[in-house]
Amino acid sequence: MPRTLIWLLLCSGCVFGCCTGAAAAGPSSGSETGSLSEAGRYQAYAGNVIALDRLDQASLTVSVYSYLGSERFQKLVDASVESPELCIRFLSEKKYTEGQRRIAILAMYKLSIDQYVSFVGNLAKLRDKALISPEELQHALFPRFSVDMIYENYEDKRIRLLLGEMEARDDIRPDLKSEIARILSGEALEERRRFYRECCSVLH
Amino acid sequence: MPDYSLVPVDYQPDFGGYSLVPVDYDPFAADGLAQQAQIQQPPTPAQPAQPQPQPQQPATGAGQPGVTGPATGNSPSGSGGGAGVGNAGIGPSNTTWAQGGAPAFTPLDGYANPTPTESLVNQAQKEPKKVQVDLVTADSSADRGSSDIHQKIVDRASVQIGSGDWHFNVAKGNFGPNKDKCNLFVYDMLTDAGASPGLPNGHWWNPYPPTAENWADPSFAIPGWRVLGSGESPQPGDVVGQRIQWENGATGHVMIVGPNATFIGVGTSEKIESVAPKTMGGIYPDPKTRPGGLLVYRRYEH
């Protein structure tokens, strides 16, 4: 009996150890925060968002595109790709400012399609709990720096399923619902391509 | 906005080796600005934040400091409009930029350095009521017709501060949702003020306004809008453009020069903002990686 008990304790210790090890080791690949614990990684992430927001205001950035060239922002982007759940957790906490939350969403622009679909799905759940605003959900749905990805992949089943779910929601603006319908039909991509051909060139 | 000070006191961006303003000096860096800001003159009696009909202030002419400032009018490319000779408007010593405690700017090759005590964004947001005061004084040197237009431009733009009508994911005009609209905002304000830059792009049946890149290209002719020459200083109502090639295809940014050394246009929040002049390219610790070309200013002259 004591031997069985010891064995059980050892096993549970192994399992626990493996879990924590996985949690710690998961993000370590290619990340400077890799050696940090889950909590530490989140704190580092949140700290980066806050610092970026401060830097933004201190340096008087005048265009949203300014973030793209910021090394600190790119670190945030990398962390977001590596662990999208960091942003989800960040947004689920009410203590952060609107500007900080906006930066966190902006940094999600390099997600894969799978990551993007999962991220927006999770944000819809946060929205259902009133933890994020409708605008934040819409900004996540149409990522500022990579929105073309949605238009160009409108035939992808994952994208179509997500857009269909979003279109059915009550908290998506009517004009964006119309845009979703146009995306799903392929019309929006065609129009978008025409826009970029014509908006910036003298054609007449 | 957060309710805490966000300016790291020791933050000193490195802007070495960059010159964003194709004119000889930074109009926002006049020595007088700092002095005026420190004096903290009491604000001019209550001026409404909303635009008002332009008061009939007499032009002060020679008595107005700075109105006869340098105006060589040498456009960088020799094109883009008129010769640029004449009253350049506000000179380095003109205090109109500093009224109401405008922030102290440090000339750094065309960049303005934030004061170490407070975000200039915050300061700009605290100063909306100074708009009319500065405009009235600032336009005293120019002919009334053009000045009226310039003031109208600033008036129209100032009214829109905080508006989300030109937000990225909002449709406006023939710009659908999820499209950049910084140039559309500028076009709308100019057109509303009677200084339309025209619709040079697209087809005649579906035309588009000048892009930010167009505004920033001195060789791109925009009817009525000449490129400021060397030695000329920007005034409220001018347009500033910068070419920046971003990875997603965006080509630059364009805004309207506002009063108190501000730019008005689509800001980082995607709403219309009034911000202090700064690198349009944004936050780049390493100058080698900082994208963006020169700031090119244009002025309406009909």
Residue B3 has a pLDDT of 41
State the average pLDDT for chain B. 61
DSSP B42-74: PPPS---SS--PPP-PPP-GGGSTTTB-----B
pLDDT tens-digit readout, A126-141: 999 999 999 999 999 9
A159 pLDDT higher than 50: yes
B168 touches A at CB < 8 Å: yes
B182 touches A at CB < 8 Å: yes
Residue B249 has a pLDDT of 73
Q: Which residue has the higher pLDDT, B103 or B174?
A: B174
A20 pLDDT higher than 80: no
Contact between chains at A67 and B200 (C-beta distance less than 8 A): no
pLDDT tens-digit readout, A36-79: 688 899 999 999 999 988 877 665 557 888 888 788 899 999 99
Global model pTM greater than 0.80? no
The torsion of the CA quartet B29, B31, B32, B36, rounded to 10 degrees, works out to: 90
CA–CA gap between residue A149 and residue A138 (Å, rounded)? 15
B171 pLDDT higher than 90: yes
pLDDT tens-digit readout, B180-238: 999 999 999 999 999 999 999 999 999 999 999 999 999 999 999 999 998 899 999 99
Closest CB to A202 among B200, B247, B267:
B200
Residue A37 has a pLDDT of 85
Q: Provide mean pLDDT across the span B94-118.
A: 28
Question: CA of A176, closest CA in chain B: separation in Å?
Answer: 8
Contact yes or no for B213/A182 (Cβ under 8 A): no
Closest CB to A69 among B114, B206, B290:
B290
Q: Please state the length of chain B.
A: 302
Most A CBs within 10 Å, among B6, B214, B220, B290, to test the A interface: B6
A64 touches B at CB < 8 Å: yes
Tell me which chain A residues have a C-beta less than 8 angstroms from the C-beta of B265.
62
Residue B54 has a pLDDT of 35
Whole-angstrom CA distances from A181 to A154, A202, B45 are 10, 30, 53
Q: Provide mean pLDDT across the span B29-45.
A: 33
Instruction: Kindly provide the ipTM of the predicted complex, given to two decimals.
Output: 0.77
Residue B67 has a pLDDT of 25
Tell me which chain A residues have a C-beta less than 8 angstroms from the C-beta of B119.
57-58, 60
Exposure letters A55-88 (e unless 16+ CB within 10 A, then b):
bbbbbbbbbbbbbbbbebbebbbbbbebbbbbbb
Whole-angstrom CA distances from B112 to A168, B103, B137, B268, B273 are 48, 10, 23, 18, 17
Question: CA of A38, closest CA in chain B: separation in Å?
Answer: 27
B138 pLDDT higher than 90: no
CA–CA gap between residue A132 and residue B162 (Å, rounded)? 21
Instruction: Of B173, B184, B246, B260, give the one whose Cα is nearest residue B215.
Output: B184
Residue A51 has a pLDDT of 92
